[in-house]
Structure 1
Amino acid sequence: MTPFVTRILIAGLAGIVMAATIPLPGNAQTTNAVTGIWLTEKGDARIRITTCGAGICGKVIGLREPIDPDTGKPATDNKNPNPALAQRPVVGLNLFNDMRATGPTSWAGRIYNADDGQFYASKVMLQGPARLRVEGCVGALCGGETWSKVGN
């Protein structure tokens, strides 16, 4: 597992997307502002955010270290308690699906934690056209980081 998967998914990510200059939810400009490719704070992974239904989705599209050093093969979702899912690659994993708008530029939903194979409540907020704050809590433990937009 990469440091990205450990750091971000253990905390049960939450994404919060917010900026004063971005239009209200439901507006195509709001959705377009958050869609695209985002680089995690430490540059460990690239996440593509797209629209899905009335919300947004996020999928891992690249890792800085895509090969597991222990196996010499692509990193897998090996902490998933379901044996059928434990062999799927991390690249291609949906971290969050169908997060719903909760404010002008914020969404909430559930996020997947590949470090334990579980889903957690989460939020995301846009802090500007190229900054995405991703935060989450598991019990009393909360954390987050800021992602940078790198493309569409």
Structure 2
Amino acid sequence: MKALFTSLLTLLITASIFAQTDPIIGKWQNPSGEGRVEITKRADKYYGKLYWLKEPNNEKGQLKKDFRNPDKNLQSRTIQGLEILTDFNKTGKNLYEGGKIYDPKTGKTYSSKLTLKDANRLDVRGFVGISLMGRTETWKRIE
């Protein structure tokens, strides 16, 4: 009985170690404090949804819309709740590439890569063409 209990306990501990969530998953705030994004994993890809805005309403008190989007059919959707990070692949221990980032302020979509600097800092780089031609922001984890 003791051997069975020890084996079961070892199995549970091993399973919990391998079931650890990826450290990029969670809630992050941009440097200006205007928005917060929740990063999740679906299948083997990572996505981020803009779940909170400092100022979610326009001057008329209505939720802000994605009016800068070049696709007329998408201009009526609200900005809060938009999926702005899409299709990232984990390519290294702390590196996620191959994804896109959408900027609702400009209506533009950029190639992007994410680099986890430590448990509480995430570098988000958006670029056109090659990564050298872009801009990086450091997001902070929200508890």
TM-score, with normalisation over the residues of structure 1? 0.73
Residue 67 (structure 2) aligns with? 78
Give secondary structure in 2 for the equivalent of 1:120: strand
Per-residue deviation, residues 67-103 of structure 1 (Å, max 9, x unmatched): 112x431111111122221010001100112201121
The answer for unaligned runs of 5 or more in structure 2 is 1-17
Residue 6 (structure 1) aligns with? none
Residue 24 (structure 1) aligns with? none
Tell me the amino acid that sits aligned with residue 89 of structure 2.
Answer: R
Per-residue deviation, residues 39-66 of structure 1 (Å, max 9, x unmatched): 1111111100001120211000010011
Residue 117 (structure 2) aligns with? 127
Distance 2:19 2:78 in 1: 32
- The answer on 1:149 being equivalent to 2:138 is no
Tell me the amino acid that sits aligned with residue 142 of structure 2.
Answer: V
Per-residue deviation, residues 5-44 of structure 1 (Å, max 9, x unmatched): xxxxxxxxxxxxxxxxxxxxxx75461x111111111111
Moved over 6 A (4+): none
Greater Cα radius of gyration, structure 1 or 2: 2
Tell me the amino acid that sits aligned with residue 76 of structure 1.
Answer: K
Change in CA separation of 1:99 and 1:28 when aligned onto 2, cut-off 3 Å: farther
Give secondary structure in 1 for the equivalent of 2:41: strand
Tell me the amino acid that sits aligned with residue 44 of structure 2.
Answer: A
CA apart distance, 1:106:
0.8
Tell me the amino acid that sits aligned with residue 48 of structure 2.
Answer: G
Query: Which has the larger displacement, 135-144 or 95-104?
Result: 135-144
CA RMSD of aligned residues (A): 1.8
Tell me the amino acid that sits aligned with residue 135 of structure 1.
Answer: R
- The answer on 1:87 being equivalent to 2:79 is no
Give secondary structure in 2 for the equivalent of 1:122: strand
- The structure 1 residue matched to 2:57, chosen from 44, 47, 67, is 67
Residue 21 (structure 1) aligns with? none
Tell me the amino acid that sits aligned with residue 142 of structure 1.
Answer: G
Distance 1:29 1:128 in 2: 16
Distance 1:119 1:28 in 2: 33
